[in-house]
């Protein structure tokens, strides 16, 4: 039941048809009698800056989940941001502090790292390639740097986006070896597709699978289907891999902690989730 005391968490993005988070959070809240609800709110880019401030003027707002296309734009609308969000240059969670200031953080990368470690990937000292330097790719790169990887290569078709991420990584992690400009996966311990490639039928693969070694750990961010063409190809090679929704389930405990709710495990979230495609 939604009552006058229910805490609202706005799920802001556009379009909303692909949103999966409400089908995970809300059953979890229901199970544990947490009087909160995640509400999808479709907001176009041109309306977002004004709408975000209005949302946080609601007396019963508790926080906001931010998704495409607003993760990067949000950074310029915050009063303060956590280090991971600063390195990523994007934000996917906002809360208001007691002084009314908007505080942002980024958990896409935290979810990826937690999932990879749970599956046995070795990140400390690893050589990693992240293809795609947008909101999610930048977040994954930021969290991989925090996890202690030795060398991090980033690639994006947008040179400005790619080089901006590389510069932020070098600034915040001066001991990290940072490369930019190549998406050749050869010689990497971990490779990640952080592009939208795989969302639509006929998309090219994000990198040359023939150059990926069977011992490489592979990550995917596309959630439209569990096994994307990219994952199907690396599975044929015998690679261990992480599907897109793994990142989502792994990051939600971190979100819950950020919003001050009781935390949980990915296993419980999978058990209560009511995801429909």
Peptide bond into 15 cis (omega under 30): yes
DSSP string, 231-258: HHHHHHHT-EEE-HHHHHHHHHHHHHHH
Confidence bin at 1 (pLDDT 50/70/90) = confident
* Residue 131 to residue 149: CA distance in whole angstroms: 16
Band (pLDDT 50/70/90 cuts) for residue 19 is confident
pLDDT digits (tens, 9 = 90+) for 64-84: 999 889 998 999 999 999 988
Tens digit of each residue's pLDDT (9 = 90 or more) over 130-173: 999 988 899 999 999 999 999 999 999 999 999 999 999 999 99
Q: What percent of the chain has pLDDT over 90?
A: 83
∠ CA(116), CA(200), CA(191), 5° rounding?
A: 25
pLDDT tens figures, 261-275: 999 999 999 899 887
Instruction: Determine if the peptide bond prior to 40 is cis (ω within 30°).
Output: no
- pLDDT class of 277 with cuts at 50, 70, 90: low
This model's pTM is above 0.75: yes
Between the CA of residue 21 and those of 5, 7, 252, what are the distances in Å? Answer: 22, 16, 9
CA pair distance 92, 270, nearest whole angstrom: 21
Is 224 a residue of the active site? no
**Options 5, 7, 44, 71, the catalytic residue:** 71
> For residue 153, what is the enclosing H or E element?
strand 151-155
């Amino acid at each position: 039941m939604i009552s006058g005391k229910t805490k609202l968490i706005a799920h802001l993005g556009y379009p909303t048809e692909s949103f999966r988070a409400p089908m995970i959070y809300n059953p979890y809240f229901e199970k544990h009698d947490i009087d909160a609800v995640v509400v999808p709110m479709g907001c176009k880019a041109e309306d977002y800056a004004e709408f975000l401030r209005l949302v946080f003027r609601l007396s019963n707002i508790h926080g906001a989940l931010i998704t495409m296309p607003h993760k990067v734009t949000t950074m310029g609308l915050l009063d303060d941001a956590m280090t991971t969000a600063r390195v990523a240059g994007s934000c996917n969670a906002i809360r208001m502090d007691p002084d009314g200031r908007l505080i942002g953080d980024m958990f896409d990368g935290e979810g990826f790292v937690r999932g990879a470690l749970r599956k046995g990937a070795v990140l400390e000292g690893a050589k990693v390639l992240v293809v795609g330097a947008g909101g999610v790719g930048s977040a994954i790169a930021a969290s991989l740097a925090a996890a202690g990887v030795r060398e991090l290569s980033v690639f994006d078709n947008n040179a400005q986006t790619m080089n901006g991420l590389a510069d932020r990584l070098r600034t915040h992690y001066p001991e990290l070896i940072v490369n930019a400009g190549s998406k050749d996966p050869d010689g990497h311990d971990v490779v990640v597709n952080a592009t939208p490639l795989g969302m639509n039928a006929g998309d090219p693969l994000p990198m040359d699978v023939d150059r990926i070694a069977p011992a490489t750990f592979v990550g995917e961010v596309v959630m439209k289907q569990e096994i994307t063409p990219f994952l199907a190809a690396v599975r044929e090679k015998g690679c261990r891999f992480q599907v897109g929704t793994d990142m989502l389930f792994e990051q939600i405990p971190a979100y819950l902690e950020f919003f001050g709710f009781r935390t949980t495990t990915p296993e419980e979230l999978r058990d209560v989730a009511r995801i429909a495609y």
